Amino acid sequence: MSILKKLLIFIIILVMMIVLQLGVSNTTSYVHSHIDKGIPVKIAVFQDNANAMYISLLRQNLELIQKENEDKVNFTFFNANDNQTIQNESIDKALKENYDLFIVGIVSTNLKDVESALRKIMDKNMPLIINPDTSQEILNFMKPYKQFVIIGADFEQSGTMEGKILVNEWNFHKESIDKNHDDVLQYVMLRGRIGSPLTYLRTKYSVLALNDAGIKTEELSSPHCEWIQDCAENAIESLFLRYGNKIEAIISNNDAMAIGAVEALQKYGYNKGSQISTIPVVGIDGMPAAKELINKGFMTGTVIVEPHDLAEALYAVGMNLAKGRSPVENTNYKLDDTGFIIHLNYSEYVK
């Protein structure tokens, strides 16, 4: 074979290797192809229930961030209405569009319900934020994926802080709270979604904080109200007819249900400002309506991760992920020991 032919074959092989390498590179990084070219980062936000009080405020804050950064980010919102099938279908459709990042509030805590959708996200090499925390089963499934982060809050901390608000209330106003003078706090627990780690941890640690403080407790009832205000209002109305003033406190997994509880109690003349005729009600989230009730003395307290603070975290970390950087680069956020979870801290809100 002549030197010319050998040289020609070598050149052809070299060109083919370069083309193949470029093809692989384009396949794995297509998500970021237009970033840093003056085009806003496109973020798809999949919310479990956009009608929920906290989720609604979170969306408003994300929209405000977009308004202030129109040249940098564009959010598109998808509402699952608490239906995992609807969310999975929305994810399928969005994967066909040119998004740079997915933020997903997973509806179901059961891996088999979401595994297919999550696998498609990973196969597309789509940067992903899960908010809030989800089940350990889903987290274990996601661990090998290098382009995802959990952003949430410490549910154990929220439950503990909620319980401590009630501890302080018991210590300062025990005479009016302990109506039957049995030295036991009889309470109703308003629970969120069945099977949610959020429900389990907030329930467990709010009561544990009371017990750790030496307060004996008795649970009268614990209806699941799926975070919904109207459900809580109806539940407390019914329970008050059954237990009356045997109810000495109401512990709620979120503020929406706590607000519903206050509204129910007010129908019976309670929680209108008088300490003697007030049943302590505590919640979690720091919703404006809850803060107003607390300021008026109608509700005892709540603990807060402000929707504004969560929105800022989702934006800052999301922009880093979309641009292929470390999720916490140039931020004050820290990953925990797992290397993929960022937890925001709660603060107490009382009168």
Task: Write the CB contacts of 284 (distance below 8 Å, at least 6 apart in sequence).
Answer: 158, 159, 162, 202, 252, 253, 254, 255, 302, 303, 346
Quickly state the pLDDT bin for 276 (edges 50, 70, 90).
confident
194, 268: one domain: yes
Q: Is residue 114 part of a domain?
A: yes
For residues 298 and 267, state if they share a domain: yes
The pLDDT, as a whole number, for residue 255 is 97
Residues 300, 312 within the same domain: no
Q: Which of 35-39, 86-90, 255-259 is predicted least confidently?
A: 35-39
Same domain, 200 and 250: yes
What are the structure tokens assigned to 142, written together?
Answer: 């996601």
Q: What is the mean pLDDT of residues 298-311?
A: 96
Q: Residue 35: is its pLDDT beyond 80?
A: no
Lowest average pLDDT, out of 64-68, 257-261, 271-275, goes to: 271-275
The reply to whether 125 and 95 lie within a common domain is: yes
| 255 and 320 belong to one structural domain | no
Q: Where are the beta strands (DSSP E) in 16-164?
A: 41-47, 73-79, 101-104, 128-130, 148-153
The residues pairing with 79 across neighbouring beta strands, listed in sequence order, are 47
User: Residue range 278-303: average pLDDT?
Assistant: 97
φ/ψ of residue 214, rounded to 5: 85, 10
CATH number at residue 71: 3.40.50.2300
Query: Residue 236: what pLDDT?
Result: 98
| Residues 89 and 177 placed together within one structural domain of the fold | no
* 27 within domain boundaries: no
- Quick one: 150 and 227 in the same domain? no
Same domain, 164 and 289: yes
pLDDT tens column, 204-213: 999 999 999 9
- The answer to whether 134 and 319 have CB atoms below 8 angstroms apart is no
Q: Note whether 314 and 129 are within 8 A (CB).
A: yes
Sequence-separated (6 or more) residues with CB below 8 Å from residue 8: none
Q: How many domains does the chain have?
A: 2
For residue 332, count other CB atoms closer than 10 A to its CB: 7
Q: What is the pLDDT at residue 34? A: 57
Same domain, 77 and 185: no
256 and 193, same structural domain? yes
- Is residue 79 scored above 90 in pLDDT? yes
Does 14 reside within a domain? no
Taking the C-alpha atoms of residue 73 and residue 63, their distance in angstroms, rounded to an integer, is 10
What one-letter code names the amino acid at 104? V
Q: Is the dihedral of CA 151, 259, 211, 166 positive or negative?
A: positive
Mean pLDDT of the chain: 91
8 has pLDDT over 90: no
pTM: 0.81
Instruction: Give Cα separations from 313 to 31, 78, 91, 254 (angstroms).
Output: 21, 19, 22, 21
pLDDT, one tens digit per residue, over 119-148 is: 999 999 999 999 988 989 999 999 999 999
21: in domain: no
The reported pLDDT for the residue numbered 204 is 98
13: in domain: no
- 295 lies in a domain? yes
Q: What is the pLDDT of residue 5?
A: 55
Query: Is residue 53 one of the residues assigned to a domain?
Result: yes
| Domain boundaries, position 164 | 156-304
Do 207 and 88 lie in a common domain? no
Distance CA 180, CA 186 (A): 10
Q: Is residue 59 domain-resident?
A: yes
Express each pLDDT in 203-239 by its tens digit: 999 999 999 999 999 999 999 999 999 999 999 999 9
